[in-house]
Structure 1
Amino acid sequence: MLLLKIFLASALIVAPGVLSVSVNFPYESVQLNTADIRRNPALRYGNPVETPDPDADLPHCRAWPGSHDWPAADEWTKLNTSLNGALLRPDPPAAACYPSDARYNATTCRWLLGQARQTGFWIDDPLVVLTQWPQGSTCPAVMDAKGNCTRGGFPEYVVNATTAKHIQAAVNFARNKNVRLVIKNTGHDFGGRSMGGGSISVWVHPLKNIEFIPKYTTDSYEGMAVRVGAGVESWEMANFMAEHNITVLTPATTVGMAGGWIAAGGHGGLTSKLGLGSDQVLSINVVTADGKFITADPDTNDDLWWALRGGGPSAFGIVTSVVMRAFPPIRSTSMSVGFSVNPNLPNTARPTSNATSTAGPRLGSSTLTNVTAFWTGVKQTYRHCLQANALGGFCFSYIYPLGNSSFTFTHSFSVPSITPTELTSLIQPLFDSLNTLGIDIPLPRMPPNMTTIPRPPPGAFQGFRGGGDAPINTRYRSRLFPRANYASDALYDRTWTAIRHSIEEGGYTFHGIGYTPTREVAGPLGADSAVNPAWRVAALHASLMETQPAGGMTAAEARERDARAAKYLDLWREVTPGSGAYLNEGDPMEPNWQASFYGDNYDRLVEIKRRRDPWGVFWAQTTPGSEGWDVKVLDGYPGSQNGRLCRAWV
């Protein structure tokens, strides 16, 4: 039995190796060397020039546990030795919930289903991905689980990457031994790209280093910057920003900053002011499909520099660190509005609450009975968001269907470099128009004489370790709505007819984020990248969301749900011709995904992919060139990663 040990701390020991002038952090100086390869030839580098002959008798499928080409136990042991004990074979935590399993522990199961989400447990687990359904639902965390817990779409092995060498060795071993490779950080993955049955996973979560650079100078940039390790989460950057009195564009609290977020574009609270996440990048350190550790920037490896910023996650390499732009502190002011509708209430019901936000999917005292007034108010609120966008702000909203023709709407405005008084003046016309509809919610009372929003003190976020994050079964389907859809009343009405239909009849939760990451905002450095062009003309990133059963569904039930959702998404596509969707929050079964997720950048991305990774080492569904392979899904569930990866024609 192979015994494997978890090491969670980042390794900062500089070992003999091939040193690179591109090193950002000590862990990047620990690289694979010729002595390592002599001891284990399975770790030899690849040569992209020696492109595999397409007419050669190449393996039809990746190796699979039990297949003739699956590495023997002694090969895994030897790899673990080369990795200095960093090879893991972790159990799914939810195994504790299965009475028929030897790993069953009722106390642990109750903790997993309750207190675990108040900690960073799920984010820090080397195996778990927060969206369960792509795994195949073979081991969901539920009380009194039936049947057996099996690995399903979870990887067979995990490399606990604390050095560049660990990543290089994993890439070379996977390529040379024909093993499927996946990449994982925090597990924020809605489309199944951080897992894969029969795979080896590279877990970059331990790479937590951050460094402030007061002056970073290149031919194309001069200013403040930060170096960010691949495993850094947004809340950790928030602490760092408070300590150094700077601002960096970040995603949501526990989302990783340097990997898939940037690789698909990446949005944040300052997107209308600073651009997308990929627009912030100044340099990228990455391990490529041949196992080499390289730097991509405007002057070096310019093809990868272009592709790694918006061209798709898990497609071109494994990022070890990035250098990003930093700015003087930017303080934002926020204001919320919320109201509900229930046509079944007595006609005397009126919205009288002073509350200007609704915490979740419930009916409150600010509840209308007039459905037309409700939807008119929603439309006016979203249109008013453009005024916040023009000042670099964004909007964040949900519409929750509550059944029986009742809905709750929550919406917040956040605008940088503006006082509460100025924001009140900006939002007052919206509240006036809502009041004329009978939506009587007054503007919130701001602190008197308050002219600035204080920055949290250093360490203000310390102790937050992913509270609220736990595996769920949410299915995202999205669309980017262009600013042009707001330009005329007729088109705006058609747009909202399509959205309203999907919420009222479809019963989906609607999530809308309003921002304008234009090319002008991105600047010359950010605009010349592989980001989906639809982002540059967008005013609303909209998602239809549904929660699928925790215990999974049959393949037939999943296909039926996909077909039903497609009917409503088609209405969105009809009013947004030529637009697209955000890959990280898009549907892995998106039709014509090449155009939807990448626009007219797709052909160039495929050409770079074929040149840089002729072996197809990096594969994830709906990424450039992924059409050549399919997962032979064991449960038949569309989009599932519970199966062997084979060539599409097999």
Structure 2
Amino acid sequence: MKGLHAAFAGAVLPALVSVGLGELFPFEEDQLSSSDIDTNPAISFGDVSDAPAPDTLPQCRGWPGSEDWPSETEWQQFNSSLGGALLRPTPPQEACYPGPQQNLTQCQWLSTQAGRTHFWLDDPLTTLTSWPQGSSCTLQGNPQGVCEKGGWPEYVVRATTVKHIQAAVNFARNKNLRLVIKNTGHDFGGRSMGAGSLSIWVHNLKSFEFLPSYTIGNYSGAAVHAGTGIESWEMFNHMAANNITIVAPGGGTVGLGGWLSVAGHGILTSKYGLGADQVLSINLVTPEGKFLTADPFNNEEMFWALRGGGGSTFGVITSVIMKAYPPISTAGASVNFGLTGFNNPSNASGTYPLPIRVNDGIAPPSNSNFGVNGPAFWDGVSLTYRYCKKVVELGGTCFRFVKSPHSSYIYPLGNNSFAFTSGQTIPTDNAPAVTTLLQPLYSQLNALGIPVTLPRLTNASLRLYAGVGGRTGAASPVNTRYRSRLFPARNFEDDALWNKTFSAIRAGVEEGNLLFHGWGYAPTVAGWPGATSAVNPAWREAALAGALMEVIPAGLTPSEAKALDEHTYKYTDAWKEVTPGSGAYMNEGDPAEKGWQWSFYGSNYRRLLRIKRRVDPWGVFWARTTVGSEAWEVVTDYPAGQNGRLCRVG
């Protein structure tokens, strides 16, 4: 049974389908039929009107070896219903561990070369952060012990059709299995994994179509129809090929579906809004296993919830129709400087636990302006972040300049040394006006003794947001954990409040030895129908999204992991004190966030919970900090880990 895989042999006529006005890709027309169900009743559709009361359902999800775990025959029959799309993969990292699968040559390639390719993103198990797995099979050159599967799924459905997704949802619901959804693996909170689970892997749903003219309700204009598995780097290539602009994630390996379902920010956030604001129609598979379209006129509550109400919650998104814009030019510049004591950032290893690799955009560039004294360094960082308010007022972002590999970070580099990188990107056809806007920032930094120079910006130097295409995706597993906060615009407007805010940011880096990642924007523009969505209202008041990042060391014991949590909470709690009532970004947030219902969803949570209970009374879809997830818990002693059985609380 290990390694099951075969091609789907043929399509059948769709049946039992509920579709609104949306457009369908060929992979969406291949749906579960009554004949499929006659052959295997275990993949029968559900009916919310006939769902049993929650207190009559099993206390825990099925577990390998438990009485309610499907038999080998049932798994084989399920695989037959899928046309051979069922996998039982093992983690690639096991090549590094003692045992029958050890392959030191392969281990060396995984450690040094795989991250330059698409290997990890194309793996059905791997997520770029593995600590929620329990840190029991991390990528190491000379690991101790054995590679344990931990929080990785037991089986994976390599979904290439809607039928595959429907069958998987129905089988999991009918067989009381834990179900998870995985796209690219760009996941820092463990929502793409779960011990003893069945995973629906939507990574290969990459269809794309440009719609030059599309009308729905109050919107009439260009649009695109995009599969949920499209990654940001692929989206940029489609933009270049079609001479259009689409609001897309900033990180090249981010998948479309999970990004927009939790707000979704990007370089054009201040100009056009969040990812969720771009959506005109959504195709999805529901907890009942049915396929439908949600838009402003069909399945309206589902349409509201899916845009900002969280992924892995209300259904499996298969594709979306979203707004497209004319090609847009940008102008801007980077700001890089560092504190005395760190002389060779391009080859740093230092004491900071993040891998310092310039070519990955993780480390400061080697030409950073080092030699700034301590007070000037921190004053310069404070000045730069506060100046973001002027940038975002013109529709820009303070993150990085388009095509620059270096984002907005404050790096602790050991030996009382720090570096800062950032940039400003402004959509414009008038580059000299950007010079006028930015020059005061550079002049004030110079006055502090920071040797930065604003390059001469001319219209000849304008860059297309989408560039010329030809982007490729590559990534390596880095055991990073994020804890985020949305800093409201009001914190930037009052001197005393800003000083308190920046002191809290600085403490996390200077005292806590944590990396600060900041993104300045103003996502106040939503448009129709974006203004009516489940996006956390805190987004509309934000001027900066900030995150403290740390790499979780391999092999931590549960008690060590808990101690590390407490160390970091001291600094994130200080952020909350200066931003009362605000929220956080779940895609870059802490899976153990205190008060996550308010932090991630704000005043929308109660309505979202009512919808969740109505459309998914079985709790088919579950991931940590998603709506309704407080009714379940993973039985593990590893904090926020996914390496245990999923059971109902109480």
Q: TM-score, normalised by structure 2?
A: 0.93
8 Å Cα contact 1:287/1:317 also seen in 2? yes
Give a deviation string over 1:309-339, Cα, whole Å, max 9, x none. Answer: 0001101100010000000011212300111
Post-superposition offset of 1:648: 1.0
What secondary structure, in the 3-state scheme, does the structure 2 residue paired with 1:333 have?
strand
Which of 212, 217, 226 is the aligned partner of 1:219?
A: 217
Give the structure 2 partner of residue 230 of structure 1.
228
Give the structure 2 partner of residue 565 of structure 1.
568
8 Å Cα contact 1:629/1:647 also seen in 2? yes
In 2, Cα distance between equivalents of 1:543 and 1:409: 15
The answer to which of 31-40 and 432-441 deviates more is 432-441
In 2, Cα distance between equivalents of 1:392 and 1:55: 51
Give the structure 2 partner of residue 640 of structure 1.
641
Give the structure 2 partner of residue 491 of structure 1.
497
CA RMSD of aligned residues (A): 1.9
Give the structure 2 partner of residue 349 of structure 1.
none
Give the structure 1 partner of residue 50 of structure 2.
50
Give the structure 2 partner of residue 279 of structure 1.
277
Post-superposition offset of 1:445: 4.0
Which of 185, 188, 198 is the aligned partner of 1:187?
A: 185
8 Å Cα contact 1:32/1:169 also seen in 2? yes
Q: 1:365 to 1:306 in 2, by over 3 A?
A: closer
Q: Does 1:541 align with 2:545?
A: yes
What secondary structure, in the 3-state scheme, does the structure 1 residue paired with 2:322 have?
strand
In 1, Cα distance between equivalents of 2:120 and 2:101: 18
Q: Does 1:470 align with 2:476?
A: yes
In 1, Cα distance between equivalents of 2:28 and 2:382: 50
Q: Does 1:16 align with 2:13?
A: yes
Post-superposition offset of 1:13: 6.2
Give the structure 1 partner of residue 83 of structure 2.
84
Which of 611, 616, 621 is the aligned partner of 1:613?
A: 616
What secondary structure, in the 3-state scheme, does the structure 2 residue paired with 1:526 have?
coil
Give the structure 2 partner of residue 479 of structure 1.
485
Post-superposition offset of 1:617: 0.1
Q: 1:245 to 1:444 in 2, by over 3 A?
A: same
The answer to which of 612-621 and 408-417 deviates more is 408-417
In 2, Cα distance between equivalents of 1:359 and 1:103: 32
8 Å Cα contact 2:266/2:274 also seen in 1? yes
Give a deviation string over 1:424-444, Cα, whole Å, max 9, x none. Answer: 221100111111111122222
In 2, Cα distance between equivalents of 1:306 and 1:163: 25
What secondary structure, in the 3-state scheme, does the structure 1 residue paired with 2:544 have?
strand
8 Å Cα contact 1:362/1:408 also seen in 2? no
Structure 2 unaligned regions, length at least 5: 344-360, 400-407
Post-superposition offset of 1:458: 5.5
**What code does the residue aligned with 2:423 have?**
S
Post-superposition offset of 1:420: 3.2
Q: Identity over aligned residues, as a percent? A: 56
In 2, Cα distance between equivalents of 1:275 and 1:377: 29
Give a deviation string over 1:112-132, Cα, whole Å, max 9, x none. Answer: 111101110001111111101
Q: 1:320 to 1:456 in 2, by over 3 A?
A: closer
**What code does the residue aligned with 1:46 have?**
G
Q: TM-score, normalised by structure 1?
A: 0.93
Number of aligned pairs?
A: 622
Give the structure 2 partner of residue 97 of structure 1.
96
**What code does the residue aligned with 2:238 have?**
F
Q: Does 1:507 align with 2:513?
A: yes
Give a deviation string over 1:330-382, Cα, whole Å, max 9, x none. Answer: 1212300111112799xxxxxxxxxxxx9834786723453222111111111
Q: Does 1:60 align with 2:59?
A: yes
Which of 575, 581, 593 is the aligned partner of 2:578?
A: 575
Q: 1:488 to 1:76 in 2, by over 3 A?
A: same
In 2, Cα distance between equivalents of 1:259 and 1:344: 41
**What code does the residue aligned with 1:48 have?**
V
8 Å Cα contact 2:184/2:255 also seen in 1? no
Q: 1:548 to 1:603 in 2, by over 3 A?
A: same
Give the structure 2 partner of residue 527 of structure 1.
531
Q: 1:535 to 1:331 in 2, by over 3 A?
A: same
Give the structure 2 partner of residue 420 of structure 1.
431
What secondary structure, in the 3-state scheme, does the structure 2 residue paired with 1:408 have?
strand
Superposed counterparts of 1:70-81, under 5 Å: 70-81=69-80
In 2, Cα distance between equivalents of 1:377 and 1:428: 14
In 2, Cα distance between equivalents of 1:291 and 1:69: 21
Give the structure 2 partner of residue 373 of structure 1.
376
Give the structure 1 partner of residue 149 of structure 2.
151
Q: 1:607 to 1:139 in 2, by over 3 A?
A: same
Give the structure 2 partner of residue 355 of structure 1.
none
**What code does the residue aligned with 1:320 have?**
T
**What code does the residue aligned with 2:515 have?**
T
Structure 1 unaligned regions, length at least 5: 346-357
In 1, Cα distance between equivalents of 2:215 and 2:23: 17
8 Å Cα contact 1:109/1:143 also seen in 2? yes
Superposed counterparts of 1:58-457, under 5 Å: 58-99=57-98, 101-342=99-340, 360-361=363-364, 366-396=369-399, 397-446=408-457, 450=460, 452-454=462-464
Q: 1:50 to 1:595 in 2, by over 3 A?
A: same
Post-superposition offset of 1:404: 2.6
Q: 1:291 to 1:118 in 2, by over 3 A?
A: same
Q: 1:459 to 1:477 in 2, by over 3 A?
A: closer
The answer to which of 327-336 and 269-278 deviates more is 327-336
Post-superposition offset of 1:192: 0.6
In 1, Cα distance between equivalents of 2:102 and 2:362: 37
Q: 1:405 to 1:45 in 2, by over 3 A?
A: same
Q: Does 1:41 align with 2:51?
A: no
In 2, Cα distance between equivalents of 1:471 and 1:452: 34
Post-superposition offset of 1:59: 0.6
The answer to which of 452-461 and 370-379 deviates more is 452-461
**What code does the residue aligned with 2:552 have?**
Q
Post-superposition offset of 1:455: 6.7
Post-superposition offset of 1:256: 4.1
Q: 1:6 to 1:505 in 2, by over 3 A?
A: farther
In 2, Cα distance between equivalents of 1:337 and 1:170: 48
